[in-house]
Amino acid sequence: MGLAISVALLYDQARNDMEGFEHHQRAFARLSQALADKGITWHEPEIMDPPCTRRFSGGFSYEYLTYLRRAFALSRTGSAVTPATTANEEQYKRDQQVVQGQTSIFYSHLLLYAGVDGYYIPVDFQEPAIRAGHSVGSSQRLLAELASFASAIGISLDEEGRLSEEMAARLASLPPTDPYEPEKFAWYQLHQACLESIASGHAVVFH
């Protein structure tokens, strides 16, 4: 079972899934109101004609997200970051304790997300939150967190923290023999989603 990730989700649903479209319209309205109650202003942009060109659709398995969160937590605590697929059972359990410890501090926008029906919105706010029954993080803060440990899993960024076209091409066609393939794949999917979210004003939706 995997996670689907979308930016500008309503465009696709308006054409292919009217029930889902209406569900997410209501969910976005509740989310906007809950955020407003906490002083955060954001609304999912309306559908336009011609349609928004900054859209994204992707996804990965829950296991890949778990591996990515492990890499972040290990990097954050100054521990050695190794490929999750090469860790023995005992080491992996210890690493998961590190993840749990970091998650309990409730500071990370990457560690916040634990299941379906989560959002990242393109507003820069410090702490992730639970609003209207959903986990809500900042696309800007998630992007910064992804950049903070990219080098630990073999992803090179330029001096301004941006991904080169060459590096992006490598991430788009990762060989299965790459020991960090799960971490890199999930990282790249989230990185693309954050960029499109920030550029377009749309939320990153997990569904």
Distances (CA, A) of 31 to 22, 49, 88, 138: 14, 25, 41, 13
Check residue 52 and give its pLDDT: 65
Q: What is the domain range of residue 199?
A: 2-206
At 122 the three-state DSSP class reads coil
Give tens-digit pLDDT for 34-47. Answer: 999 989 999 999 88
Each residue of 71-81: pLDDT tens digit? Answer: 999 999 999 99
Angle in degrees, 0-180, between the axes of helices 181-200 and 165-172, rounded to the nearest 10 = 120
Query: Taking a C-beta distance cutoff of 8 angstroms, is the pair 136, 35 a contact?
Result: yes
Question: What's the pLDDT score for residue 38?
Answer: 86
Structurally, the chain folds into a number of domains equal to 1
- Angle, to 10 degrees, between the axis of helix 62-76 and the axis of helix 139-148? 70
CA 61, 64, 68, 74 dihedral sign is positive
Supply the pTM of this predicted model. Answer: 0.94
* pLDDT of 144 above 70: yes
